[in-house]
Amino acid sequence: MSAVQKREAHSLAYISLGTNFGGNLRLSIIESALSSIQNEVGSIDACSCLYESLPGFDVDPRPKDQHDLSLPLHLNAVVRVQTEIEDPEVVLEKLHSIEQQHGRDRSPSAVRLHRALDLDLLFFVDSELNNRQIHSDKLILPHPRLYQRNFVLFPLCDIQPTLKHPAIEKTIKELIQENLKRREEVLIQSTSSLSNNLSPLSDPYTIDGNLAVPRRCFAANDGQLWTIKGGSEFAVEDTLLWIQQVLNRYGLKEEKEAEDISLQECKERLLQLKHFLLQEPISPRLMGILNVTPDSFSDGLKFYDNVEAAVKQAQSLIQGGAAIIDVGGEATNPFVQEEVSVHTEIERVKPVIEALRKEIQKNILISVDTRRKPVAEAAIAAGADVINDVSGGEADPSLLVFAAEQRKYPLVIMHSRGTPKTMDSLAKYDDVVNEVAEFLTEKTNTLIKLGLPRWRLILDVGLGFAKKAEHSFELLRRLPELRSKLPSGLPILLGHSRKRFIGWAIEERQKKLQVQQKGEDCERKTTTKEEDMNSRDIAGLAVACWASSNINTCVDILRVHDVKKTDLACAVMEQLIKSNQQNTQSPVAVLKAMYPSLEG
């Protein structure tokens, strides 16, 4: 049976997941619910990004002050599930059972807005491809309020922007556009009211979770939700506006402790989020490279077989601005002939990761750079947070299965071909941007179907791996186009540091200088390896600046050796971005920033 026939034989259930209860447990609740849905409803066919959204109220006669908008922010996502269940009411019963397993209280005495887990059936497309419309005592399909909820529409748009609401006869994209127009009108009206000196307490909340742009997040770990580039400023502005209005509504001051303990806890939670959002970098986060190998191209032997030196280097990288330390125990240098055994690679990385986990602060992520499942398993057991697979799962497909089964550890998937020994011979492309995008999209879809949530994925374009210099520069020049061809909302990582294509560019410039200085004493000086690497570090800052040059298309993570210089360059770029950014709240701008592949 073909994949198409198999899909047509199943129904598709579109299910939203939400929780606002449990603090740092919110994410583990969502991911546990995903596992339960797979076990009890069907296989996950598509998964949205993760969104943090403001508390919401539905359009009804009740005044706003009867809604407890000081509740914790929600986490939301949507999945599309292939199921053999033909009756949508049975699907709903299973969802209610999963809610109960995760602590949801549906009794009349339960606090209405406290949701340990909220699972809603949004759409149900049967095996005959009918988008079912139902209005019974148990179930209404499509979900009666989804069209007015941005915290549902944005995740749906990640999965299927062209999906049409059968009753309203509008696509998900069109419904978002309408909601964003309403949002724009409300914000303009609010600004006008303030300019006319109307009291903000008369209508304390300008926008809520239904109208606000939800914050699209990458789950670095259970406690850290990083904002994804592309449209992020709209979500951050909406969240900061709401936080300030909650503080105003309850008369809470940053510098003054509230008399009511519950209000003080609410204030501390809101201020913690406010400070996090204000401190998040506009430019990419930095991943510091820590090679503990004897044969890495640029820094072999420096930190090999010396845990103390490796930890000291990691601390230096962190002081320079690194948010992630990437520990590698196998050189991907194409000139290295000897292949490292799994046992040897584990012996190199495990003690370093164990020491780092003890010595460095918990908010710094530790990544293991490996192509092998046993090494990843050992690294995770030692305290690593992230798996960085430079083979994109090609070297050891079981590594992808392991990451998907674990579910909670982010995975970097890089585009490459062949092995470090053979990759140069495979650097042949008709269109490198299209082919890299196709590879990464296919890997993303495979991993999601295996069970890895979309918010635990990072995509690496693989600069210098199975690519000539011209290919790497083409990928960099066409970064916005590349982003538009990839699944929306996935963090992009660039690993340009000290690569051969940077050295090639330096060589080309030196050749031109020699020609210009012909006839003069221009004998070329012999340089040391350290001088060559220093030159590449300096030249590589151009890539860091280029990758940071537009807030809506810039990458999310830069993997570099010289973190300090890169951080300084990014600091200047942040100021240039702030002064040049055309920040508009128009619906078109928001939609284009968050979904660059959508037209119109």
The model's pLDDT over 144-181, given as tens digits with 9 standing for 90+, comes to 999 999 999 999 999 999 999 999 999 999 999 999 99
The per-residue pLDDT for range 285-330, each reduced to its tens digit, is 999 999 999 876 666 567 787 999 999 999 999 999 999 999 999 9
How far from 270 is each of 55, 70, 210, 226, 276, CA to CA, in Å?
Answer: 13, 9, 19, 16, 10
Answer yes or no: 373 catalytic. no
How far is it, in rounded angstroms, from Cα 242 to Cα 204? 9
How high is the pLDDT of residue 7? Answer: 46
The per-residue pLDDT for range 75-98, each reduced to its tens digit, is 999 999 999 999 999 999 999 999
403, 443 Cβ separation under 8 angstroms: no
φ, ψ for residue 71, nearest 5 deg: -65, 155
Walk me through the domains of the chain, giving residue ranges and CATH numbers. 3-175+208-232 (3.30.70.560), 285-594 (3.20.20.20)
Per-residue tokens: 89: 């009411």
Alpha carbons within 13 angstroms on the beta-carbon side of residue 322 total 27
Average pLDDT over residues 32-57: 94
β-pairing verdict for 285-291 and 557-560:
parallel
Number of separate helices (H) and strands (E) present in the chain: 18, 19
CA 405 from chain centre, in angstroms, equals 19
pLDDT band at 6 (very low <50, low <70, confident <90, very high): very low
pTM score of the predicted model? 0.92
How far from 146 is each of 121, 377, 550, CA to CA, in Å?
Answer: 10, 41, 32
Catalytic residue among 173, 417, 500, 559: 559
The per-residue pLDDT for range 431-453, each reduced to its tens digit, is 999 999 999 999 999 999 999 99
Catalytic residue among 94, 115, 443, 499: 499
146, 122 Cβ separation under 8 angstroms: yes
Average pLDDT over residues 372-376: 98
> How many residues are given for the chain?
600
Of 371 and 249, the structure prediction assigns the larger pLDDT to 371
Average pLDDT over residues 41-55: 96
Answer yes or no: 499 catalytic. yes
